[in-house]
Structure formats: C-alpha cells, structure tokens
Structure 1
Amino acid sequence: MSHTALIPSHRKPRRNASKTALRAGVAGGVLSTIAVAGAAGPAQAEPVTQTIEMPTITSGLSTVVAESAQATQQVAFDLEARAQEDAAADQAAKTAKKAKAEAVRKAEAKAKAEAAAKAKEKAAQQRASRATARTTLSVSSPSTSRGSSATHATTASSPSSSKSSNATGSAASIVSFVKAQVGDAYVPGGTGPNSWDCSGLVQAAFRTVGIDLPRVSQNQSVAGTQVSLSNLQPGDILYWGSAGNAYHVAVYVGGGQFVGAQNSSTGVVLRSLDYDRPSGAVRVL
C-alpha cells in the first residue's frame, strides 16, 4: 500500500461529458439570442411623438358668464323691488285702517259730545226759565213784611236786589242762570248741569243768550272790553289774575255781588266783591 493511499485527493471530480455538452449548448443559445437582439436593436423605429391641439372653448365663455351674472342680478333686483312694494302696500293698508278707526272714534266722540252739549244746554235753559219765573213771581208778589220796619230797612239796604232788578234782556238771563246754580258742586272741568268749574259756569251762562265764550278763564278774561271795577254792570265777567292770564272768573250780578264756582269746599256761591276782590272785568254784552 502506498503511503499516500489514505490521504484524500484534492482534485476536482471529472464532469460528465453529457452534462458538459448540455451546458455548452444552452450557453451558446443564450449568446446567439443576445447577438440577434443586439443586431436587431438599431433597426427599431423611434417612438412617435405628436402634439394634439385641443379646441379652445374659452373665447365665448366670458360673455356667457357675464350675461348670466347680469341676468341673476336683474332677477335679484326685481325680487327686492317686489318685496319693497309688498311691504309698502302692507304699511299703507295698516295706516289706512288705523286712520279709519281713528276717524270713526273721533266721529263717535264728537257725536257724543254734541249730544251731551245739547242736553246740558237744554237743561240749562230749563233751569234758567224756572229761575226767571221764580224771580218774576217774587217781584210781582206783594211783600208780606212791608209793615215791618226792620224788614223794610233790610230790603232797602240791599244793593243786590235793587241793582240786579235793573238788569234787562241778555244780562237778566245771564244773572238768573248763574243765581239758579248757587249751591251746585264745584268739579274741575265741570260744565253742568249740576257741577261746574268757574269758566264752565260762565260759558254756560252766556250760552243761554247765544254767546259762545272760550272755555278757559285765561281766554274769557279777554273775551270782551275791559271795564273798571267802579263801573260794573250786571252780566260783566270778573276775573282774578291778569287779563289773558286769569286763574279764576265769575259773573257780576249787581249790588256789589258776584256768582262763581269757587272751589270744591264751597261749590257755586253768591259773594260780595269784598269777600274776594277781583283783579279786573270785561264786558261782553
């Protein structure tokens, strides 16, 4: 046995001849394919590039958009105008309805006021007629106390009875009316027939003879000719305060006396001028 027999050999094993031929054939085929491809490569056509022009559609688009915007704006204006017209019509209808209701209310109030004024005037005329009848009866009847010197002296010393009897015509009617109201209540704003304020009584008295005086004392104090307190006649209007700014009025009835609706405590009273000296007087008759 050789001394190298147990040492493994480092030689590569021999390849099988069939395998070697197969591998050579495959490699040759691959190389042939590559060669053919390389030869055919330069002959291929270059890729085709072509620019396609798209049709332009923006040339008329701005006009269409503008027309559409204008139409939309016009529709908005029309809607707004119609809304304003509708609102104005509603407001006009409400105003007309309110005005009609106010006119009806005023007409009803006026009718009531006129009816009340006529009723008051009629009542005042009736009372004035009764007062005139009583005054006539009292003047025509003989005095039962003529024999009594005391009573006669009292009657003779009473300037009221002597001077008021000198009132004639309209003045007599006015004096009779206000005297008939003595004892009635005083009510602010009262115009009768059973309650009065100062100017309401004066106005009603002159209305019995067809004279329509202003309603308030300020205007009544300048409704006629200013006269001196030393030259008074029955039927003159007395005022307290200043002419045009009076705060109280009454009617002079003669004999240094007046009748007036003084206040809520006294009502309508007959008083002497010395009781409350007036500031001035005006003559309407």
Structure 2
Amino acid sequence: MSPNAHITSHRKPRRPATQSWVVRTGVAGGVLSTLAVAGTASATTAEKPIEATAELPAFNAELSASIAQSAVATQQTAVDYQVRAQVEDALDQAKADAKKAKEEAERKAEAERKAKEKREADEARASRDNDRGSLGTKSTSGSGSSSSSSSTATGSAATLVDFLRAQVGKAYVMGSTGPSSYDCSGLVMAAYSQIGIDLPRVSQDQSTAGTQVSTSNLKVGDILYWGSAGSAYHVAVYVGGGKFIGAQNPSTGIVERSMSYSPPTGAVRVM
C-alpha cells in the first residue's frame, strides 16, 4: 500500500463531457443574448433622430421670432428712408420757394427803381415847364394885363378856393368825403359841389371829367391829376400862385403845396 493512500485527494472530480457542452452552450447563449440586447439598444438608439423631431417646434419658434424681428427692422429702415426722403424734399421745396421769393423781390425792387427814375424825370420836366410858365406870367403881368393863374380868384373860383383852404389840416381817410376827413378825390368832389358842379367819385374818372389842359396854362379851379388820364392815382385842385390843395396821404392830411413839390402829370378844366 502506498504511504499516501490514506490521504484524501483534493482534486476536483472531472465533469462529464455532456455537462461541459451544456455549460459552453449556455455561455454562448448568454453572449448571443447580450449581443441581441445590444443590437436592440443600437436599433433603438438609431431611431432617436425620429424622437429629436419633437424639438423642432422650439427651433422653428426661435427662427420665426428672429425672422419677425428682422422684418420689423427692415420695415423700420424703410420708414426711416421714407421720412428722410420727405424731409429732403421739404428742404428742397423750401430752398426753391426762397429762391423764387428772392427773385420776385429783386424784380419788384428793379421795377420800383425804374418807376422812381421815371417819376423823377417827369417831375424835373414838369418843373421846367412850370418855370417857363411862371416866366410867361411875369412877362404878362409886367405889361399891365391880368393873369388867369393869379392867386386872386373871383366868383365860383373864389368860393372853391375858400372851401379848400378851410379844409387844410384835416385828416386824410381813404374813402371819406367829409366833412371832418377826406381822401383825394373825395375832397375835389366836395369842393366842386360847393359851386353846383357834380363830379365822379374816383380820381380815375375825375381825370377825364373836363377838357384836358396843359400844366403850363392853368387856371384857378383846374383839377390836377397824377398818373395817366383815365387811370390817375391822385388828384388835387389848382388854387393859383403855382400852388395846389389836396388830400395827400394819411401822414400829411390835407395840405397846400407848391407845384414843384410834386408836379402833376396833367390837368382838366371843368368850369
């Protein structure tokens, strides 16, 4: 007997071959099951993009908000451009209006300058004519004959002159015919009514009411006018001695002035 025969062996008993196959088969099956589960998980993971579409509405909302903001900004920019264009148009129109007004003012100033030059030339010519008339009157007076342009008037002419001198100092009021104020034609009409002569109301008509006479051959009571016959803008009455009485303007009122102060354009005789 072997000396070690009484020692119990600790070696594991060999398993039957069938049991080993079963174990191996089970292990393989477990591995395959694990792979199948993993495959299923992978398939599930591959389908995730379909679930991700659930996040698209949030993305679309953000995109819509951004587009809306962009549209508002674009509209505001368009409005700003429109306002700017309107402002520029207004400025251009204002410049054009200012230029037109300036040109109009320059034209008026030029017209007034020419009118003034013409008026001064007419006054100078009338003054020369009046001087020549005065020389003729002096010559006639020296010969002992009476002059019709003498300041001494009789009859109706005297009545006319007396009335006019009584009005000197009163106010000039446009459209007034007395007794406390007059305009130029209102005074002439009122004066002639004192001697029974009815005259038209306005200076234009009074400048053609009688016979046209030269300003160098005037008689007391002749109507003097300034401007053209039929379109005169002022009238007065010759009172002799190279003077006239008329309602001049609101500043001076009714005055007696020398012919040289403002030589008339023409005269008419109505008596």
TM-score, structure 2 length as denominator? 0.45
Query: Taking structure 1 as the reference length, what is the TM-score of the superposition?
Result: 0.43
Higher RCO, Cα 8 Å, sep 6+: 2
Structure 1 or 2: larger helix share?
2
